A and B are shown apart, each in its own frame.
Chain A
Amino acid sequence: MSAVDPVAAIPHSRRGDRWREHGFRIALLSCLGIAIGMLGVLLYEVGKDGLGAVNADFLTSFASANPQRAGIQAALMGTLWLMAVCIVFIVPVGVASAVYLEEYADSRRWWNRLIEVNIQNLAAVPSIVYGILGLAFLVRGPLSLGRVVLAGGLTLGLLVLPVVIIASREAIRAVPTSIREGAMALGATQWQTISRQVLPAAVPGMATGTILALSRAIGETAPLILVGAATFVAFNPSGLTDSFTALPLQIFSWLSQPQAEFKTRAAGAIVVLFALLLAMNAVAIWLRNRFERKW
């Protein structure tokens, strides 16, 4: 009877392998550290200057030539109005496009493949191009809306629409075929299957996609400059056809002023913008976790 030495039965790992494993892990952590570090530095710089500036007066005052009295009420309301117009536009149009592309379009036809490629490209087009588009077709041109909230909201909507379409398509695609087959085998029509089974199951993904699209839209400045958001506005918009301003523009305008106090104001406005972004992303994450489905 030979006793097997347990240590020798399992060979040791080679030293080179162990170092490689550690090295790889350290490299990955460093990359993560760089990204988070940059974000941390940014947040710190902004917070240092801006947190002090945010108070009730700041939020409720309008812009003013006097930096002590300048506030962001008009800009904040303008941003909220723009987001409202944006949502009302992107949700129905984006969801309907995604439903058509996923459920009705025959993917073997060349024109449908062309549409697909185009949507992917549209998501990558620089935002200033959308500003030019908005200026040419919404503010002037066929629709001639003028430099108003509606034009600004629609321009932002066009900018982020591809994001909504792509996210909605992913959400619809994630619904298993077996659910669709089960519904159709019971005698449901295609539309009944989509509206009663597929879309309800895809809502969390679509909601997350919409909120992420809005997160992008809220910070866009270039298209709004072109579409004509004013930078010195001392009133809130009260309708779709009013002129407006927005937070990114107010920040941009204040940063262009020579007085140092305006820089503090700008930092405060950035803090408010960050807070809005954080809130929206938190809602997106909560929605995703709440409705996450294990098929």
Chain B
Amino acid sequence: MDPKPTINVRLTHTDSAPAANGPREAVFRLAGVGVAYSGAPAVRDVTFDVHKREITALIGPSGCGKSTLLRCLNRMNDLIPAAHVEGKVLYHDVDLYGPGVDPVQVRKKIGMVFQKPNPFPKSIYDNIAFGPRVLGMEGDMDEIVERALKRAALWEEVKDRLKQNAYGMSGGQQQRLCIARALATGPDVILMDEPCSALDPISTARIEDLMLDLKDRYSIVIVTHNMQQAARVSDMTAFFTVELDEAAAHRTGRVVEYAATEKIFTNPDDARTEDYVTGKVG
């Protein structure tokens, strides 16, 4: 009989179990959320809560709708005409898809960082200042920019060259710039769609450290292909899988299990989760 396969993942922060004192406030409550592109469902029946000041990781194989779901949380799927969102996404008890909710205001409070760093072709200063400017934020712009860069651990490196073009920075710096840019609008949630997959391991480590720092102030939801990363940084993990429908025409993603990271990686309930995290299936 084969020995039980070991899960090859090191949990580096032992406070991975959510704080036991007091009830955890939910930032997002998802109920039956699904997205269909021109009728073909990409992800469905997603129901879980995202808690405040925690890092929630969405993991799973390619094509299981993790990024699609992430984009529901700040109404970025509105930009795709063929996408139709069903279910309820409650943000602090407000239905994000309810009538009268302005997506522009939603995105002010829920920021997003993309897989490939996408700084604007402008100076570093103007990159950070763009969000506050379009939202008409009051206050001294220099201070806002400095604060955002400090929170993203980038200030020391760029404070002398704020007027230089952002494209002159390395990939890791550009991604931290994108994080600073998202922080400048004063959100309370940051969504990260595979933020490190285009970066080298050193930059990845720096951004993971940054995430752990940001956790003090922001709630973070991160989609990642890198299981070790999920284990290293996240408090809660949702494991997605892909199901083929009867006609094998559509691949639809669903959440298999959602639990504390430590549990997912050491003692998951579902066999599919265990297969994935032990590397038996990818």
Q: Which residues of A contact B (CB under 8 A)?
A: 106, 108, 176, 178-179, 181-189, 192, 196-197, 201, 293-295
Contact = CB atoms under 8 A, between A and B. Distances in A.
Contacts of A183: 120, 130, 134
Contacts of A295: 121
Interface string B101-133: 000110110011010101111000000001100
B124 to A, nearest CB: 14
B218 to A, nearest CB: 15
B181 interface: yes
B185 interface: yes
Interface residues of B, number: 25
A288 to B, nearest CB: 16
B120 A187 contact: no
26 contacts: A176-B118, A178-B116, A181-B76, A181-B118, A182-B114, A182-B119, A182-B178, A183-B120, A183-B134, A184-B76, A184-B79, A185-B112, A186-B111, A186-B130, A186-B134, A186-B135, A186-B185, A187-B104, A187-B105, A187-B107, A187-B131, A187-B134, A188-B130, A196-B130, A197-B130, A294-B167
A176 B117 CA distance: 12
B74 interface: yes
A192 B81 contact: no
A181 B79 contact: yes
A134 to B, nearest CB: 39
Contacts of B134: 183, 186-189, 192, 196
Contacts of B64: none
B28 to A, nearest CB: 17
B178 to A, nearest CB: 7
A184 B118 contact: no
Contact of A185 (B81, B111, B121): B111
Contacts of B167: 294
B182 interface: yes
Contacts of B104: 187-189
